[in-house]
Amino acid sequence: RCELSNRTGMDSETLKRAFLNNLFYVQGKFPALATTNDYYMALAYTVRDRLLQRWINTAATYTELGSRTVAYFSAEFLMGPHLGNNLINLGIYDQVEQGMAELGLSLDELQEEEEEPGLGNGGLGRLAACYLDSLATLDIPSLGYGIRYEFGIFDQDIRDGWQVERTDKWLSAGNPWEIARPEWSVEIKLGGHTEHYTDDHGNYRSRWVPDQVVKGIPYDTPILGYQTNTANTLRLWTAEAPESFDFRSFNSGDYLGAVYEKMISENISKVLYPNDDSSQGKQLRLTQQFFFVSCSLQDMIRILHGQNLPLENFHKKFAVQLNDTHPAISVVELMRLLIDHHQMDWEQAWTITHQTFAYTNHTLLPEALERWPIELFGSLLPRHLELIYEINQRFLDEVRIKFPDDEERMIRMSLIDESGERYVRMAHLACVGSHAINGVAALHTELLQKDVLRDFYEMYPHKFTNKTNGVTPRRFMVLSNSQLSKLITSKIGDSWIKNLKELQQLEQFVDDAGFQVEWRRIKQHSKTELATYIQNNNNITVDPDSLFDIQAKRFHEYKRQHLSLLHIVTLYNRIKANPDIEITPRTFIFGGKAAPGYFMAKLIIKLINSVGNVVNRDPDVRGRLKVVFLKDYNVKLAQRIYPAADLSEQISTAGKEASGTGNMKFALNGALTIGTLDGANVEIREEVGEENFFLFGLTTEEVYHKRAHGYRSRDYYHTNAELKLAIDRIASGFFSQGDAELFRPLVDDLLNQDQYFLFADYASYIACQDQVAAVYKDQTKWTRMSILNAARMGKFSSDRSIEDYCRDIWKVEPVNVELRQ
């Protein structure tokens, strides 16, 4: 009994005892010899024990009830550190903090020790993580399925202002949050050819004869909901060579051959592709996609059989969400498993498949739409290519019936692109194989329907719905902004944490002077903490009284970090022209990674650092402007940044950002947004009120119109003196020690192409920023706007998003979990 309470008890004394026990028995250390990592591990195991009790009871309940389950298929899960979040969701953060303090340890320091699992690039992977949190919080039976990359997103260093990539060794100190389940390993096939034969019933059938077999081993991580017993599972697959393979080669004496094959197999889950919003078409990437999808579907069939449910019930037991097209091959893989392995007929297999899958699109950028050269596809997945041809033929027959004599439409909609080299179009496959298709913000869904997926919308209007993204208030408020969370709770109680709409009640305090003072004090506190971080990491002194103007997200031309740079250079030029000019002091903070092969994005990072080097040191500036690039932006750093922001930069070209979720996290933490009518900005502005949002720039229609009528950025350059001066300064080498070549590619691109309409939006952006500066001087007004922003963010909880998916797409109900064992 004592042993059990050591592992489950939640009071401060038991937690401390359990912690010291784990230090001794798991880490094999006593305090005098223990490192910070030992302490972190001991605490992580202490917390894990509490999770295990809930996890096991959850699994037992689901098994007993045979509950309908959501399977979230995603090539990325950007979970962020687990420790703090689990403490919050268990409701023992304060006890543990106190217990650690009594032992002379700082919980903050222990949390810093955790290597975060960076198994995602940005928005898409972080969304998957928020959705797992909400699924568990809402007691929805669910499984996240993905890849356990040995190397997640690279660590970013900055050398001489340039981004340098280092491998992320997140597993090197061990991972206390996962449990390997080798007993549930599965095998997947790759390559080879197909054979045709007639079965015992005289049916003509195909089978796949692969030339490689790889083993997938599942590693499970518990995902605990907030203030509930539900702990769902994130199941990530690691690739290994199967033993049988080794035996064969070892026995033939080819030891090195066997080791080589093992290495090739293990490469599959070695590294996350670091591209965000673009697809490279590499064979290893397709292999990764097929690997995790095939492992997961086989695992689901095992679960189904384990619950004595027939295969015909697959779609009743599981609702599978495809997180973009990365897992879209699962449509074909499920067909193959049902037809080739389980001898189902085509119609029944198709009904099951189609009712199982739903597809979320996350991008409007053409370069991100995945397609695979037929040759490559066929050499890796020969049987799947045959099945795709068959699916396509049947699909095109349907199109022909609905739209007779429209050959052009058939060519556009085909699963195979035959306009040049032939490709398999994964978005088309996902649309055909799913019963539901959604975009991630209202504008995005509208643009999918009107443009990117228009033919599919005309074919299947009933499949389309919008599901606006959301973020979890547990990680991005309760954990990362504890002071603000406590202030809110002191005023309206704590039920806002599970029902974010309740934040609305804060509106009654918007003009309460005492509340405003507290609100400001907390913002100031977070800014001071970030200022200390900047001092320690960048050796730059920034003033916490200055306006913290932050753009933190992946680097991409469409996100237009360089538009913010043009603003910085413009302010700098104004100061140089008139050193006594009255300006609102600002600290410009950037964070984000560029894809390693994306030259222009990396050049923009270099330009930020180059401008910073000049501006931060120029005595004329007198500290009124500071430019900071925070390296290695990840979830941990994001949690420091959101609470400290006054202004959130959401300045993508209209029609390019599918949704954005950073925009939601900033506003929830009381930052005001300067933004375009793009992605979820549109809905954020609707919610917070147009008077509380700094809007600028072209609309999507205006962008389309300009593009169609011959946009000439140079005209703006010649007619706007401030723009011209800003560009000329960059081009002259002023920020690059006289080197006029360094930023030429960027300047030339803006002058000659400007695909993302920076010059067209420049004047409106600068005018809007001038307005921001004016409002910031009136701190009472600013604070009022800040409170209203946070108070009106209720819609953007990931709980709301998940409720929408559950009701409209997944048709799944909550299941209550009792603690019995």
Residues acting as catalytic residues:
362, 553-554, 559, 661, 665
Residue with the CB atom nearest ligand DL6 in the bound state: 123
Interaction between residue 658 and ligand DL6 (CB under 6 A): yes
One of 99, 117, 122, 592 touching ligand DL6 (CB under 6 A):
122
Q: Which is nearer to ligand DL6, 96 or 293 (CB)?
A: 293
Give strand pairing partners of 78: 118
Q: Which stretch binds ligand DL6 (CB under 6 A): 23-31, 225-233, 293-301, 659-667?
A: 659-667
Q: Are the C-beta atoms of 472 and 133 separated by less than 8 Å?
A: yes
Q: Interface with ligand DL6 includes 141 (CB under 6 A)? A: no
Q: Which helix (H) or strand (E) holds 575?
A: helix 561-577
Of 44, 124, 300, 506, which one interacts with ligand DL6 (CB under 6 A)? Answer: 124
What is residue 320's three-state secondary structure?
Answer: strand
Identify any residues that bridge with 180 across adjacent strands, giving them in sequence order.
219
Q: Does 275 bind ligand DL6 (CB under 6 A)?
A: no
Q: Which of 81, 679, 697, 794 lies at the binding interface for ligand DL6 (CB under 6 A)?
A: 679
Distance in Å, CB of 449 to ligand DL6, minimum:
17
**Structure token digits, residue 368:** 């991100």
Residue with smaller CB distance to ligand DL6, 723 or 806: 806
When asked if residue 659 is in the footprint of ligand DL6 (CB under 6 A), the reply is yes
Q: Which residue from 38, 139, 240, 276 is in contact with ligand DL6, where contact means CB under 6 A?
A: 276
User: Closest CB to ligand DL6 among 366 and 710?
Assistant: 366
Q: In what order do the strands lie in the sheet with 547-552?
A: 625-630, 586-591, 547-552, 647-650, 672-675, 694-695
Residues within window 601-640 making contact with ligand DL6, judged by CB under 6 A = none
Sole binder of ligand DL6 in the list 58, 469, 570, 769 (CB under 6 A): 469
**d(C-alpha 31, C-alpha 61), whole Å:** 40
Kindly report the backbone phi and psi dihedral angles of residue 151, in degrees, each rounded to the nearest multiple of 5, phi listed first: -115, 115
Distance CA 435, CA 648 (A): 37
624's tokens: 């009124």
Of 605 and 658, nearer to ligand DL6 (C-beta) is 658
CB of 126 to ligand DL6, least distance (A): 8
What are the residues whose beta carbons fall under 8 Å from the beta carbon of 74, sequence distance 6 or more?
Answer: 124, 125, 128, 144, 145, 146, 323, 324, 326, 327
What are phi and psi for residue 396, nearest 5 degrees? -65, -30
Length of the chain: 821
> In angstroms, what is the minimal distance from the CB of 441 to ligand DL6?
8
How near is the Cβ of 123 to ligand DL6 at its closest, in Å? 3
Nearest-approach distance from CB 228 to ligand DL6, in angstroms: 25
Q: Which stretch binds ligand DL6 (CB under 6 A): 101-109, 118-126, 498-506, 724-732?
A: 118-126
Nearer to ligand DL6, 584 or 652 (CB): 652
Kindly state whether residue 362 participates in binding ligand DL6, applying the rule CB under 6 A. Answer: yes
Q: Write down the least CB distance from residue 658 to ligand DL6, Å.
A: 4
Question: What angle, 0 to 180 degrees and rounded to 10, lies between the N-to-C axes of helices 36-65 and 12-25?
Answer: 110
CB of 679 to ligand DL6, least distance (A): 5
- Considering just the CA atoms, what is the radius of gyration of the chain in Å? 27
Site for ligand DL6 in 427-446 (CB under 6 A): 440
3-state SS class at 551: strand
d(Cα 128, Cα 75) in Å, to the nearest integer?
A: 10
Give least dist CB 372 to ligand DL6, A: 14
Q: Work out how close the CB of 324 gets to ligand DL6 at its nearest, in angstroms, rounded to a whole number.
A: 4
User: Shortest gap between Cβ of 692 and ligand DL6 (angstroms)?
Assistant: 22
Q: Contact with ligand DL6 (CB under 6 A): which of 80, 84, 123, 670?
A: 123
Name the DSSP letter for residue 550: E
Applying CB under 6 A, does 277 fall inside the site for ligand DL6? yes
Q: Determine how many CB atoms are found less than 10 A away from the CB of residue 544.
A: 17
Binding segment (CB under 6 A) for ligand DL6, from list 235-243, 312-320, 425-433, 652-660: 652-660
3-class secondary structure, 41 = helix
What is the 8-class DSSP label of residue 70? E
Amino acid occupying residue 769: Q
Dihedral class, residue 211 (left if φ above 0, else alpha if ψ from -120 to 50, else beta): alpha
Judged by CB, which is closer to ligand DL6: 487, or 658? Answer: 658
Q: If DSSP states are collapsed to H, E and C, what string results for 440-479?
A: CCHHHHHHHHHHHCHHHHHHCHHHEEECCCCECHHHHHHH
Contact segment (CB under 6 A) with ligand DL6 among 362-370, 483-491, 533-541, 616-624 equals 362-370
Instruction: Point out which residues pair with 143 in neighbouring strands.
Output: 71, 233
Cβ-contact 625, 576 below 8 angstroms: no
* CB of 27 or CB of 469, closer to ligand DL6: 469
Pick the stretch among 653-661, 665-673, 748-756, 774-782 that binds ligand DL6 (CB under 6 A): 653-661
Site for ligand DL6 in 311-330 (CB under 6 A): 324
Choice from 657, 687, 749, 799 touching ligand DL6 (CB under 6 A): 657
Of 214, 147, 219, 236, give the one whose Cα is nearest residue 181: 219
- Closer to ligand DL6 by Cβ: residue 22 or 363: 363
Q: How far apart are the C-alpha atoms of 211 and 254, rounded to whole Å?
A: 17
Cα-flanking dihedrals φ and ψ of residue 161, to 5°? 85, -10
Nearer to ligand DL6, 63 or 280 (CB): 280
Which C-beta is closer to ligand DL6: that of 595 or that of 727?
A: 595
The residue within the footprint of ligand DL6, chosen from 218, 382, 660, 670 (CB under 6 A), is 660
Q: How far is the CB of 795 from ligand DL6 (least distance, A)?
A: 15
CB of 79 to ligand DL6, least distance (A): 15
Question: Residues touching ligand DL6: how many (CB under 6 A)?
Answer: 18
Q: Draw the binding track, 197-226, toward ligand DL6 (x: CB under 6 A; -: no contact).
A: ------------------------------
Kindly report the number of other CB atoms within 10 A of residue 177's CB atom. Answer: 23
Give the SS3 label for residue 723.
helix
Q: Cα separations (Å) of 738 from 492, 560, 567, 610, 741? A: 57, 25, 21, 12, 9
Q: How far apart are CA 377 and CA 373, in angstroms?
A: 6
- Should residue 127 be labelled a site residue for ligand DL6 when binding is judged by CB under 6 A? yes
Kindly indicate which of the ranges 178-186, 360-368, 534-542, 578-586 contains the residues binding ligand DL6, using the contact rule CB under 6 A.
360-368
Cα distance between residue 73 and residue 357, in whole Å? 10
Q: What residues make contact with ligand DL6 under the rule CB under 6 A?
A: 122-124, 127, 276-277, 324, 362-363, 368, 440, 469, 657-661, 679
